[in-house]
């Protein structure tokens, strides 16, 4: 069955192995020749994706597999697990005040969410206590970094 899917895809075993993250084309060949059960292998989903199998075909091959409607990411196709996104840190009140009070003109980026999150996420021995402390930290850091926009 796998051989016919490979032929239909018009891809080489090497291409499919690379796309699916299979260790080698010879490993895929063992699957195609029935020596390894590809449907029960950890590579089933990535191989099915590389072959362009339709949702119905996948469901027929492996009925117990939970299918998602969204396309898999490159990492998911290779069997990698993406880490959960970190929660945004709580913005200290003094930093919020600094953003309102000083976040204009040359210091306008201080009022941007990306800067508030970046500053709030920093580890301090002693956290800044006043809006002016936060402004001083922002002034120094803004010359060194530019946090990504979320």
Distance CA 10, CA 105 (A): 59
Residue intervals in the chain for CATH 1.10.260:
2-77
Distance CA 100, CA 114 (A): 15
Topology, domain 2-77? 434 Repressor (Amino-terminal Domain) (1.10.260)
Percent of the chain exceeding pLDDT 90 equals 65
pLDDT tens column, 56-103: 888 889 888 766 556 767 777 777 776 777 788 899 999 999 999 999
> What is the number of alpha carbons within 13 Å of residue 54 lying toward its C-beta?
4
CB 89 within 8 A of CB 121: yes
123 vs 67, more confident: 123
57: CB partners within 8 A, 6+ apart: 48
pLDDT at residue 36 greater than cutoff 60: yes
Q: What is the mean pLDDT of residues 118-132?
A: 92
């Amino acid at each position: 069955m796998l051989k016919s899917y490979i032929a239909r895809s018009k891809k080489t075993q090497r291409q499919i192995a690379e796309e699916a993250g299979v260790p080698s084309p010879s490993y895929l060949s063992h699957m195609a020749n029935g020596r390894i059960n590809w449907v029960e292998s950890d590579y089933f989903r990535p191989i099915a994706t590389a072959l362009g199998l339709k949702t119905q075909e996948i469901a027929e091959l492996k009925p117990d597999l939970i299918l998602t409607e969204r396309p898999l990411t490159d990492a998911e196709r290779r069997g990698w697990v993406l880490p959960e996104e970190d929660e945004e840190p709580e913005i200290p009140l003094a930093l919020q005040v600094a953003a309102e009070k000083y976040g204009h003109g040359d210091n306008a980026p201080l009022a941007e969410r990306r800067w508030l999150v970046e500053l709030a996420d920093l580890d301090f021995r002693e956290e800044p206590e006043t809006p002016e402390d936060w402004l001083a930290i922002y002034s120094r850091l803004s010359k060194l970094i530019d946090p990504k926009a979320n």
